[in-house]
Structure formats: structure tokens, C-alpha cells
Structure 1
Amino acid sequence: MEADAIIIGAGACGLMCAVQAGYLGKKVVLLEKGAQPGAKILISGGGRCNYTNLLVQPAQFITANPHFLKSAFSQWTVEDTISFFETYDIQGEEKTLGQLFPVEKNAKDIVKLFKTLCNDFGQEIHCNAEVGEIHHTGDRYQVHYLQNGQKKVLEAPKLVIATGGLPIPKMGATDFALRYARKLGLQVEQTAPALVPLTITGKDEEWFASLSGNAVFAEVSNDKASFEENILFTHWGLSGPAILQISSYWKAGETIKINLLPQQNISSLIDTERKQQGKTLLSTLMHRYFTRKFTDAMGKYLPLHQTVAALTKAEMEEIHQRIHEFCVKPAGDKGYDKAEVMRGGISTGELSSKTLESKAQPGLYFGGECLDITGWLGGYNFQWAWASGFVIAQQL
């Protein structure tokens, strides 16, 4: 079989790379370990697929070298992503914070589009293909793989590794890209789960668990970042968009701060209430901004049954701190099973930022999540996958 390139991994990056190569008249073969291409695309956004974000900038990515992203994002912009999908009748609709979702379509339609385009261009997708050895001799790459019990071999002058990261191993995620990079002597930045729920244990475990299912709009921060979105209490700790976001900047042993009323000042609200109706109970005032269950739970820390007029200066300070600087020290995170992406990965210093080709080995390219590039929640990681797939395709 004659092919211009072999792409290992038929996720967002690999599929976009194959389609863009097709536009250029290049023939590629995709090897996918799973039973179907685009498995993680299918579960993204609860099956709705938040496929890009209108606000994408390099600053919204965690990487040792943010400047590395500039070239790829200039070659394939958010507008290019929108235009690409619109060409095939997938219109985008902004939900919140720049997040773009398909209108009246979903993740299945996006995967179907890529499969259709690959078929139209004659790009082959081999599923259930477990890659074993890779040999590089002269200007050829030889990939040995096992498919449905049969040993097979492919050869091509270019090789693309787009196998993703470590999250959701039950869906087939592996450390293939990281192992191969290390085998070649490439630097790999320390990896960890990112965009992942955080766990609470010890003396506070029962209190958090009692609030399971309650959501609060809050600002969550540490000394590295700050996010203002919902937090969700769970039976094992904290989740929700703001928690997932801060988790990418959090390390075990660190404390995070939660401002439970980011767009108000509790002290000012109490002062105003004192002037209007001093007999109002603190619990009554709190219930205007929080659910009854959450308000009652805060009784562990606050004098809810005091009237606002009777609150002392010390109580006011305690209330202000508990509402605006609620400190939490998570015990850990829910791991790769629940993480949306991986932090860390193959060092960007090993690749050309313009082509994503390995500096050490010509004809070898890495794209998508396996690199040390981790985006925020909300379509950022998809934009990186599409962009890196496009960039690599231009070189095949």
C-alpha cells in the first residue's frame, strides 16, 4: 500500500490531519486502537461537542512555552475552524464564555463528517489496530501493528503521532506517544490529570458530601489563576466548571480559595439590611443568594440565627472571610478516569513550532494532546487539535 504518511490515532488531531492532507492530494492511513474513530469527540460536551472557543489565545494554555502556540494558531485560526464546519452545514452557536456548540447537531455529526471526508478522499481508517514496533530506516517509517489478531506492516516516508493523552483509559487512552518519545530520547514534561474534579477527605469530607448536587456560582483561585463559573458539590468533593479549570493549575498539598459571592460584598449587603430591617436573620439574608440547603450548611461556620443588627465586628469579619475567602485544601483529584485532558507531555522544545516536526528525527510529527499543551475548559483543546492537525498536514 502506497501512502504519503501514517497517522497513529484517529482522534480530533488525526482526523483533521487526514482530511487536510486529502485536500492537498495526499494519501494517508490512520491506525486507531479503538473500535471507532473520534471516541473522545463523541463524549465531549455531554455528546454536544464544544468544538472551539471564540476567545482562544495562547495565554489560555498551560505549557512551558506559550509562544510555541502562536505559529499554529496563526496558520489555523478559530475563524478557520468555524468556516470549515460551516462549509459542511455545521453552524456554531455561542453558549457561555465563547464556547461554540453545533446548532441542532452534535458530536456524532462531527465524527460522521470526518469519516465521510476521509472516505471521499480515499483516506483509510484501520480501527482495532494495536501498534507495536516502529522502525525508521533511511527516509522510511515502518509501523508494525496487530489488527483483529493479524500482524500487519505499513510503510511511509512520514509518520504522525496523534494518540492523545492519558485521560479516560477505559476508552483506550494510553501512554503510547510518551513512550515512543522517550524511546527516541525526547524530553517529556511531567504529566498529571487536568480539568479534573477534586476530592475532599478528612474532617471536612462529610460536610462537602452533605451538599452533593448543590451548585454555586463562585470565583475559584490560587496564586496562579482565577476562574468565575459554577462549582458543584459532590459526594467526594468538588467539581463544576470553575473547579475543573483551577485543577489544571493546582498541585497536591496546595490550598484554593473560593469566593462564594463574587459579584456582591456580603459586608455591604449586611450593612444595607441593617439600615432597612435590622431584625432580619443572617440566614434570611443568605437565602436570597444561596439555596436553603447551602445556607443551612454554612451554619457550621456562621451565626445564621443572629439578626443582622446583633452581629459583632468579629462575627462580621468571620462572615466576610467565609463567604469571600473560603479556603479548601483538596486531598487529591479523581485521576485520569475523570480528567478531561492531560497536563504536561512531550516538550515543545523538541519540535518546530512552524511544522510540529521532530527536530531530532525528520519526517516525524506530533500533534494534539500528547504535547505539553493543555487548554482551558470550553473548546480550547479542540482548537489546538484542529490547528495541529492542519499544520502537520501541510508537511505531508
Structure 2
Amino acid sequence: MNADAIIIGAGACGLMCAVQAGYLGKKVIVLEKNAKPGAKILISGGGRCNYTNQFASAEQFISENPHFVKSSLSQWTVEDTISFFDTYGIQGGEKTLGQLFPVDKNAKDVVQVFTSICSDFGQEIRCNADVTEIEVQPQGFKVTYQKNGKNIDLTAEKLVIATGGLPIPKMGATDFALRFARKHQLKIVETAPALVPLTITGKDEEWFAQLSGNSVFCEVSNDQMSFEENMLFTHWGLSGPAILQISSFWRRGEVVNINLLPHQNVVSLLDEERKSNGKTLLSTLLNRFYTRKFTDALGKFLPLNKPVASLTKAEVDLIEQTIHQFKVKPAGDKGYDKAEVMRGGIDTNEISSKTLECKKIPGLFFGGECVDVTGWLGGYNFQWAWASGFVIAQNL
């Protein structure tokens, strides 16, 4: 045996697993297809790395089995993540909604923590290693990978597949874990891009495109979920935190409801303005809450140049509906190129929730994004990656 375990994938889960295995005196070899470890960590949060969320719990994860993550999240808590990084000089500062980013550090420093500890423990990270074959043997696993045109074989009693999901192919994302799972008759929950911008086409396309660059704080919802955050108009549709969040719950053909003024009642505002100054134009009132460009765009639907005192009941109803129940039917999403994570993945019924070991193939573990566990935007997916890496390491 070349090591106690082979870990395929030097992303967040694989690196945490290697480090935690090192603490336990276990020798691992990490195989990474890219030229450097932590490729997706390095681009997360615009290079700043939103490495966890103070409010992380099972409630912020999407899975066919919503209880599955509870065991991992209790074995490795948010406090454990904060303490771990704090120990290695990375202190967290809250940006918004519980999101923690390194203070005075960035994503490179986060990756450096893992590579340094791996080096201290003698854990090998072999980059530019493209795994071509996995053979399940009676005593463990034989993994074949290609490097510089040569085939290299490794054997170990335990194998960890932490190869991530399908988003951002240019970062080396592949369907490796899913292909392996299918080959061994493991069930897969249908996959789709998640935390992804939504596209608008057809007759409304031009209206959205003209607002490109404008951001509006709003409540975005569908029948399943609602989120209050900023929505960003783009030349091809909608993005921004609120849209990315709802995209994980959106299905093609569905309408998305947008409350453009979630903390106010536009009818009450009109009543108050009518009493104080009925000559105020509707556009003047709306400009208090939106950019002039966005208010002007609403002129397609609303009588902007009318004084509030002159508005008819039908017009007030129209204003209320437009502001508080703006409906959008996206044509689709921007796909895996622009998605932050993948929805779906290896069915959690195939994996022990306590150990993350594959039930049908003893000694094999799955962690991170390739499993049917998808977190909300805001550091939740990293918390799952760290937790799953820790849990697997305890059971190698």
C-alpha cells in the first residue's frame, strides 16, 4: 500500500480531509487534476473566500434528504471552522447575513493554510494528476493516473472521492464522481446548475438589458422559498445574491415573484404623499427608493408623470401590483460556466450520514459538492466541504 488513503480532488473537502488525517497520524496522497490545489477556493468571493457562515445549519441546505447533513455539521461545527482558521492566523469578519471572510487575508492564504499543514505532516499533493481508472480490489483500491504522459498506479485501503461538481469547467470541473457512481450502480439525484444567474429572452429582453448594472434591494420568491437581498440587472437577464439564491429552487417554466419594495407599502406611501403634497409626481416618489434609470424604466408600466393626488384607484392597484408583485418568467439559466455550485449529485441514501462511507463499497468515501447536498449562497457550501472532509478523515 502506498498510503492509508488516496484522496481524489484537492478542493476544500479533499484538503481538509488530508489535514485532518494528518492530525490522526494517517498518511494520504492527494491527486489533483489542476496545476495547483484549491482552484475553486482561490476564485471564491472574488478571491476573498467567504469560508463559512455563522448561521449554518441543516436548514440552509438543499437535498432529497434534508436530514443527511445534520451529523456532519454537528461533528464539525461553524465554531470548529472559525477556531481552525483562527489557529493558523486567519480571523473572520462578518460582511453581511453571517458571511465570514478573512480579515486582512484572502483566498490564497486559506489555501496556504492547507498546503503548509500537509507539508508539515508529509501528506503528498500531486498536481497535474489526471485519474483515469479506479479498480476496486478485495483489500482496497488501485488508482491509475496520468502525469506527463505516464501512467502511475497507487494502492490504498481507503479511497476518498472529493472531485467537486460540474460548475466552472475552465477550473477543471468534471463529472468524474458521477461517472464513477454510475459505473458502480450508485443512484444519482438529477443534477443542475445552482446559485446561477437567470436569463430573460423574448419580448422582455430589451427592457431588462437597458437596466444592466442597476441593483435593487428586493424580496425574490417562488412557491418554495423567498430571499431578501440585492438583485442585479444584466444585459442578458438577472443576477445578484437574491437571484442566485432563488435559482437553486427555481425550475424551468416557473414564474419568479419580485417585491421591489419589501420593507414599505407603496399604497401607504402614496396616501401619505397625497396628504402632505398631492402635487408630487409618481416618478419623484419612486426616485426616493430607486435609481433614476430604474424609475424611468418603470414608466413602461406606470403613469410616472402623474401627480399622486390624481391617481385613480385602478392606477394605484397597478402601482401596488408592479412594485410588490413584479413577475418574471426566466427563459433559463447561465449554465455551469456561471454557476457557483451544482444541485443534485450522488444520492445520500448510498452514503452513511455518520461516516460518509459508501454503503455498497466499503472503504470508499464521498464528500463535498459531488454529493446531493447544496448550500445557500454565503459560505454554507464551504462549511459542508470542511465538515465532510473532517468526518471522512475520522473514518479512514
Same fold per TM (> 0.5)? yes
Residue aligning to 2:124 = 124
Partner SS for 1:117:
helix
Q: Aligned-pair distance for 1:66?
A: 1.1
Partner SS for 2:68:
helix
Distance 2:256 2:390 in 1: 38
1:73 counterpart = 2:94: no
1:92 counterpart = 2:88: no
Residue aligning to 2:171 = 171
Residue aligning to 1:50 = 50
Q: Aligned-pair distance for 1:148?
A: 1.5
RMSD (Å) for aligned C-alpha atoms: 0.5
Distance 1:136 1:303 in 2: 69
Q: Aligned-pair distance for 1:269?
A: 0.3
Q: Percent identity?
A: 75
Partner SS for 2:284:
helix
Residue aligning to 1:239 = 239
Distance 2:136 2:249 in 1: 38
Gaps of 5+ in 1: none
Gaps of 5+ in 2: none
Query: 2:254 is matched by which residue type in structure 1?
Result: E
Residue aligning to 1:189 = 189
- CA offsets per residue over residues 41-96 of structure 1, 9 Å max, x none? 00000000000000011111010111111110110000000000000110000110
Distance 1:109 1:283 in 2: 48
Matched pairs, number = 396
Partner SS for 2:322:
helix
- The alignment's TM-score, normalised by the length of structure 2, stands at 1.00
Partner SS for 1:157:
strand
Residue aligning to 1:346 = 346
The 5-angstrom pairing of residues 8-27 of structure 1 reads: 8-27=8-27
Residue aligning to 2:386 = 386
Distance 1:390 1:326 in 2: 44
Query: 2:287 is matched by which residue type in structure 1?
Result: H
Residue aligning to 1:148 = 148
- CA offsets per residue over residues 257-304 of structure 1, 9 Å max, x none? 000000101000000000000000000000000000000000000000
Q: Aligned-pair distance for 1:136?
A: 1.1
Q: Aligned-pair distance for 1:137?
A: 1.2
Q: Aligned-pair distance for 1:37?
A: 0.3
- CA offsets per residue over residues 92-130 of structure 1, 9 Å max, x none? 001100000000000000001111111001000111111
Distance 2:91 2:301 in 1: 48
Distance 1:310 1:206 in 2: 31
Partner SS for 1:33:
coil
- CA offsets per residue over residues 136-190 of structure 1, 9 Å max, x none? 1112200011011111000000000000000000110000000001111000000
Residue aligning to 1:35 = 35
Query: 2:9 is matched by which residue type in structure 1?
Result: G
Residue aligning to 1:302 = 302
Distance 1:148 1:66 in 2: 43
Residue aligning to 1:214 = 214
Distance 2:162 2:237 in 1: 33
Partner SS for 2:360:
coil
Distance 1:5 1:257 in 2: 48
Query: 2:179 is matched by which residue type in structure 1?
Result: R
Distance 1:30 1:2 in 2: 12
Q: Aligned-pair distance for 1:33?
A: 0.5
Q: Aligned-pair distance for 1:2?
A: 2.6
The 5-angstrom pairing of residues 286-365 of structure 1 reads: 286-365=286-365
Query: 1:357 is matched by which residue type in structure 2?
Result: E
Distance 1:146 1:269 in 2: 66
Distance 1:13 1:293 in 2: 44
